[in-house]
Amino acid sequence: MSAVTAVPTALQVPRRPSRVVPTAVAVIVGAVVLAAAAGLPIPWSDLGSLPGQVAHYLGLMFAAPNWAMLPQALFETWRSISMAWIGAIGCVIVSIPLGMLAARSIGPIWLRLPLRGLFAVSRAVPEVIIALLLLTVTGLTPFTGALALAIAGIGTQAKWVYETVESVQEGASEAVRAAGGNTAEVTRWALWPAVAPTLLSFALYRFEINIRTSAVLGLVGAGGIGSMLANYTNFRQWDTVGMLLIVVVAATMLMDAVSGAIRRRIMRGPRAKAARAQREVRTDVARVS
Amino acid sequence: MTSSLTVPPKPRSRVRTALIVAAFAAFTAATCIPAIGGIELDLGAIVRNWSNGSGLLAQFLQPDFAFLPRTIGPMLETLQMAVVGAALAAVVSVPLTLWAAAPTNPNAPTRVLVRTVINVVRSVPDLVYATVLVAMVGVGALPGLITLFLFDLGIIVKLVSEAIDATDLPIIEAGRAAGGTQTQINRRGVLPQTWPLFANQWLYTLELNVRISAILGIVGAGGIGRLLDERRAFYAYDDVAVIVLEILVVVVLIEIFSNLLRRRLV
Amino acid sequence: MRIDPLHAEVGPSPASASWSIRLDDVSVTYPNGTRALSGVSLDIAAGEMVSIVGLSGSGKSTLIRTINGLVPASSGTVTVGPHTVTGMRGRALRELRGRIGMIFQGFNLADRADVYRNVLVGSFARTPTWRTLLGVTTAQDRELALRSLDAVGMLEKVWNRAGHLSGGQKQRVAIARALTQQPSVMLADEPVASLDPPTAHAVMHDLRRVNRDEQLTVLVNIHLMDLARQYTTRMIGLRAGEVVYDGPAAAAADHDFEQIYGRPIQPRDVLGA
C-alpha cells in the first residue's frame, strides 16, 4: 500500500563522478580541429556558393551523359581491369612464397625479420610513387601500371600470407614432421591445403583493390579509364566525364559483387570449413589449457 | 594370398576444377590482348631500359635531407586536411550509419537507399574525386578536403553499419517495450554501445587521410603531393625520397597515437 | 494518472491505474510458418499476479509479447485496460507501451551506459524526442528515476556502468526502469532464468512486493515450478501454443505440471533454495 506522506523522504544520492577529463578532451579535440580548419587556405565564407556550383557541374555531367564515347570507355575499362588482374597475379605469385618464408613456423629468424621489414617499406610507399618511378623504365603504358600494382601490393599481401599461415593449426604440420618430412613436405601436405582457400580469397581481394587503384594510376598516365578520365576532365568535356564516372562506378560495383560472391563461395567450401574448424579447435584448446 | 581391395572412388570434381582453370586462363589471356584493351607484357622493356630506372632508383635511395625544411609547410597543410576531413566525416557519419544499419533503421527502403548511395560513393577512387573536383572548384586544399570527406564517409558508414548489423543489441527490445521512438532508442541505447566501433573507424580514417592527402596533391588538391609532383617533374628523386620518408614517419606516428587511443577507448 | 514523485514513499501507480489483460481467441503465426499460439483466450483482472508456465517453445514468449504488441497477433483481439492492442500502431502504440513495463531474461540493459541513463529509458514514451537527443531531463523524471532505483535498493549504484553489475543487480535496475514508466501492467519474460537461487528468490520477491504494494497487474513467464507456486496467485499453463491449465498457483500439483510440460518432472524444473 502506498502511503502518500506529506513530507518527501530525502534520497541518499551518491555523488556523480567527475566529468572534467572527458570534457577537457572534447574541448581540446574541438580546438585542434578548428585550428586546423582555420589554418587551411580555404575561403570558408565563400562555401555557401559551393552546393550551387557543384549542382551546376553535376547537371553538366549527368543530365545528358555522352554515351557516344561508350565503346572507347569500355575499351579503356577493360584495360584497367587487365592492369588490375595482371598486377594481382604478379603480386600473388611473389607474395605467397615470400610471405611463407616470413612466417614463424617456416622461415628462420634471420630471414623473417628482413623480409617483414621489406614488406613494411613496400606498404609505406604509395603505388603512385612506384608507378612514377617505373615510368622511366617501362614507359607510360598499362604494363607499367600492372607492375606498379604488383610491386606495391607485395607488402600487404605478404603480410596477410604470413598472418594466415601463423593462424593455422599446427597439428597437421607436427604429424608430417613426426613421419619424417622436411619443411617443404610439411608445407605441401599439411600447410597448403589449410591455407589455400584463405589465400585464394585474399588474392581475389587484391584484385578488387587493384581495380580501384588502376583508375588512380591511369590518372597519372598509366592508361586505362583513369587516363581517359584525366584527359576529358582537363578538356572540361563534362558530358563525357559524366559518362565515364557512371562507367567507373558500374564497373567497380559489378566487379566487387562478382568477386565478393566468389570469395564467399571459396570460404564456404569444404576445405575452408576444415581450416576454420581447425582454427576453432585450436582456440578452444588454448582456452581450456 | 593378396586380396584385391575395393577402393571407393576418389571424390574429385575433375570437371569443375578443369572448368575453373579454363576460365582463369581465358580471363588472363583476354587481359593480355591489346586489341581489346588488354595490356602488352613487355618484359623486354625492363631489360632494355633498366639503366634509366636504376639511376633514378639510386637517387631515390639517397634522400637529400637538406630539403626537409621546404616540406614543413606543405606537410602541415596535408595534416590539416587530414584532420578536418576526418572530423567532418565523423560528424556526418553518425546519422548516415544509423540509417544504413538494420537494427537502427527498421525501414527497409530508406536503408537500401542509403546503402546504395554509400556504395556508389565508395566506388569512385579517391584520386578520381580529386581530379574532377579540382576541375570544378579549382586547385588547392578545398577539393582535397571534399575528397577526403567523401572517401572517409564511405568507409565509416560501410564498416560501422556492417558491424552494427552483426552486433547483439538487446537494449533495442527494451527501448521498444518502453514505448520509445527509434531515434530515442538509437541515441540512448545503441550509440552508447557502439561508440568504440565509431571511434575505431574515425581513427582509422585519420591515418588513411594522411597517406592519401599526400597523393592528392599530385592532381592539385593541396598538401605535400604538389611538392612531390613538382620535384618528380624535375627528376629530383632524392627530394622525392625525403618526402616519401616524411610521409612514412608521420603515418607511423599517427598509427602509434591511434593505437594508444584505441586501447583507452574500450 | 500520475502521482507527484516528491510526495510518494515508494514508486509509482496507485491502485486505480492498474489494468486488466484480456486475450480473445488470439493466434500467432510467424512469417516462416511456425504457429506459436492457437486460439488462446485469457482474462486477467487488474491487480492479479499471474505466472505463465510452460517449456521453451510452448509460446510463453510470444504470448507475453502480444500484450504490448512486440509480436502482432495474427488473429484475435488483445485488450489491455481500456485499450485494444491488436491493430495499434505508431504513436498510440508507443503511448500504450509506455504504460506497460517489461523485464527480460537477458536484462536488456545498455551495458556501456550508466545505471541512471538505463533507468531513464523508462521515461521515453512521455519524453519528446528532442529532450532525449540532447539529454535534457525534467526534474520530475530525474526524481522518478532515482526513486525507482531507491525502491529496488540500487540507488547507491546509480552512476555505475550497467555492465559492471551482477545479474541480480541488473535485473533490479531493469525493474527500476520499468517502474519509472509508472506502469499499469508489469510483464516479466523469464526474469530469473539467468540468476542463481538466492538472487532469483530476491527478484521474485521484489516483483511480488510491487504487485502487493501497488496492486499492479503482474504477468510472469516462468518455467520453474516452485517459484510459480510460491510467488504467484494464479497459474496458466501453456503447451504447444494452447492453454492447458488455468487455476490457483498454490493448488497446482506435480501431475498438473507434468501435463503442462508433456513429460515427467525433472530436477531442472525446480529451483531449490
Q: How many whole angstroms separate alpha carbon B223 and alpha carbon B75?
A: 6
Contact predicate B248/B162, CB 8 Å: no
Architecture of domain C18-99+183-261: 3-Layer(aba) Sandwich (3.40)
CB pairs under 8 A between A and B: 160
Q: What is the pLDDT of residues B162-200, one digit of tens each?
A: 999 988 899 999 999 999 999 999 999 999 999 989 998
DSSP C114: B
End-to-end CA, chain A: 56
Read off the pLDDT of each residue in C139-147 and give the average, rounded to a whole number.
94
- Other C-beta atoms lying within 10 Å of the C-beta of residue C70: 19
Min distance A37 CA to chain B CA atoms (Å): 6
Read off the pLDDT of each residue in C9-17 and give the average, rounded to a whole number.
48
Chain B residues touching C173 at Cβ < 8 A: none
Query: Is residue C14 less than 8 Å (CB to CB) from chain A?
Result: yes
> How many residues in chain A?
289
Chain C residues touching A2 at Cβ < 8 A: 3, 8-11, 14, 213-214
Read off the pLDDT of each residue in A46-54 and give the average, rounded to a whole number.
83
Give the ipTM of the model, two decimals please: 0.89
Q: How many whole angstroms separate alpha carbon C88 and alpha carbon C74?
A: 13
**Which residue on chain C is closest to B183 by alpha carbon?**
C129
DSSP C80: E
Q: Please, where are the H alpha helices in C79-224? A: 90-98, 115-120, 129-134, 139-151, 167-180, 197-214
* Domains of chain A listed by start with CATH number: 78-288 (1.10.3720.10)
> Domain spans of chain B?
14-58, 64-265
Could you tell me which CATH number the domain at B64-265 has?
A: 1.10.3720.10
Is residue A274 very low, low, confident or very high in pLDDT (cuts 50, 70, 90)?
low
Q: What is the pLDDT of residues A141-175, one digit of tens each?
A: 888 888 889 998 998 899 888 888 887 756 666 77
- C155 or B40, greater pLDDT: C155
**Which residue on chain A is closest to C14 by alpha carbon?**
A2
Query: Is residue C109 less than 8 Å (CB to CB) from chain B?
Result: yes
Residue C10 clears pLDDT 60, i.e. is over it: no
- Other C-beta atoms lying within 10 Å of the C-beta of residue A238: 24
DSSP C155: G
Cβ contact, residue pair A5, C9, below 8 Å? yes
> Domain spans of chain C?
18-99+183-261, 111-182
- C108 or A188, greater pLDDT: C108
CA angle A25, A31, A33 (to 5 degrees): 105
Residue A8 clears pLDDT 70, i.e. is over it: no
C-alpha count within 13 angstroms, C-beta hemisphere, residue B106: 8
Cβ contact, residue pair C159, A12, below 8 Å? no
Contact predicate A240/A71, CB 8 Å: no
Q: CA dist B4 to A101, A105, C172, Å?
A: 44, 41, 73
**Confidence (pLDDT) at B102:** 94
Report the range of poorest mean pLDDT among A43-57, B119-133, C109-123. A43-57
**Which residue on chain C is closest to B179 by alpha carbon?**
C94
Is residue B114 very low, low, confident or very high in pLDDT (cuts 50, 70, 90)?
very high
Q: CA dist C231 to A242, C163, C220, Å?
A: 72, 28, 10
Residue tagged 597448403 (cell numbers): A192
Three cell numbers, residue A95: 607474395
- Which among A3, A6, A11 has the least Cβ separation from residue C150? A11
Chain A residues touching C9 at Cβ < 8 A: 2-5, 9
Read off the pLDDT of each residue in A51-68 and give the average, rounded to a whole number.
89
Q: Please, where are the H alpha helices in chain A? A: 20-39, 50-62, 70-101, 109-124, 127-138, 142-167, 171-178, 183-186, 192-217, 225-234, 238-268, 270-288
- A185 or A82, greater pLDDT: A82
